[in-house]
Chain A
C-alpha cells in the first residue's frame, strides 16, 4: 500500500511538472524562433556549414540541390526547383509530397504564420 502511494505521488509529481513545463513554453512567432525550434537540429544558417541537412545560408532564391559538399538524395538532385518563397512554403508544408524521396526527415510545418515567418527570416540570411 505504501509503495502504491509513493508511486502515485511520483506520478502526480511528474504530471504537475509536465503541465508546468508546457505552460511556460514561450510563444514562437518569430522566424528565428521557428528556425531554432524546427530546423536548427539539422540545418545551420552559417555559410558552407552543412549538418545533417545542407546550409540554409541564402536558401531563398537558390537552385535546389546546389550546396557544395552536401550529398543530396537523387530525388532532390533531380527536383530542378528554384527555392522561391512560394516553393519553400509548399515544400515546408509537406516536404515528401513536393519532393518524394527527399532525405529530409520532417513531416512539415502546419501553421501558415510560422512558415511565413520562417521564410522571411531565411530570406534575410544572405
Chain B
C-alpha cells in the first residue's frame, strides 16, 4: 500500500533501471447453457500485458499497462494508467505522504481492495456478466483522463480529490481504446476518504467514495446524470503469513437522472459486494464472494455468488525462480439467482472459469 501511495518509487539495488514486467492470463470458460447470441465456451489468452510499473525518478513512478488478448488479434491497447508524483512531508508534526496522480480509471488510484478497480474477483470470465452496475464500477475505465491529488496522513487518514474528463478521440484511436458514446459532459468530480489501520499482523479500513458524472450522447440533447456514493470496509489478518484471512465489502448507491435517454426519469441502482478469502502458506487459497445489484429499472437486478480455489506454486520468497517467476492456477464458479432482472433461467448464466496467471 505504501509503495503505491509513495508513487511506486521504493526500490532496492536489485530493482531494474527500467521497471518493466509482464503478465499472461490464459483461461477457459464454460456457461451452463448456450445463449442464443453467443458461444457457450471460450478458451483464450485472456490478457497478455506489459507493465511499466515502478520508480522512474526519486519522486515519480508509474503503473502503466498495455494489453492484448486473443480476441484482440494482437492489437495492443492502453490498459490501466496511473502515473504519480509523491513526497513524504511533515504536516504539523504528523508524517504524511502527499501526491498527485494522472490516471485513466476512477478508483484505480485506490490503496484498498474494496473499490471496483481492485475488488474480488481479480480475474473472471468475459463470456457473460450483469448488464447493470453503477458507473463508478468500471463504467468509465480507460476512456477518461483524470487528475487526482491525495494525502495519507499519520499512516491512517487517506483523502483523495480529483476530476475526470473524456479523452480526445484521436488519443483513444492512437492507443487502440474504443471511442465511447456517450462521453463525459465536462469534468466528473471524484473523491475518496478512508481510515486505514495497518498493524502489520493485521489491518483494517473503512471508507467513503463518490463520483458525480454527466454523460452526453454524441447525437442527442441533454445529458444523463449519475451520482454515485459508496461505503466500504475491509479486514485482513496476516499474522506470520502462514494463515491469511481477508474480508472486503462495499456498497455503492447510484442516483440516475436520465435527461438524454429517458425523458429525465430518475432511477436508483445499488450494488453490494462482500468477499472473504483464506490463504494457507501464501500458496493455497479459497475465496467466496456475494454480489447483489438492485435497481428500480426493470432489468437492473442481478444477484449471485462467486467461489474460487487457487494454487500459487511460484511467487513467494524462496520459491523456484523468485522473484521473477510468479504463477497462479485457479478454478472459479459464478452462480446467479437473478440475472438482468429475471430469476427465471438466471442459472443459465452460471459460469465455470479456469485460469492460469503468470507474471515475470
Contacts and interface: CB of A to CB of B under 8 A. Distances in A.
A112 interface: no
A70 B13 contact: yes
A98 interface: no
Contact of B272 (A7, A36, A51): A7
A125 interface: no
Interface string B222-250: 00000000000101011111110101010
B240 A28 contact: yes
B201 A25 contact: yes
B292 interface: yes
B201 A52 contact: no
Given A37-B240, A50-B14, A105-B2, A18 B201 contact: no
Contacts of B247: 14, 17-18, 21
B270 interface: yes
Interface string B297-322: 00000000000000000000110000
Interface string A28-42: 100011001110110
B10 interface: yes
B200 A41 contact: yes
B8 to A, nearest CB: 13
B242 to A, nearest CB: 8
Contacts of A25: 201-202, 237, 239
Given A21-B237, A28-B239, A37 B13 contact: no
A38 B201 contact: yes
B290 to A, nearest CB: 8
Nearest to A32: B240
A44 B316 CA distance: 12
A89 interface: no
Interface of B: 2-3, 10-14, 155, 200-202, 204, 233, 235, 237-243, 245, 247, 249, 251, 270, 272, 274, 276, 290, 292, 294, 317-318
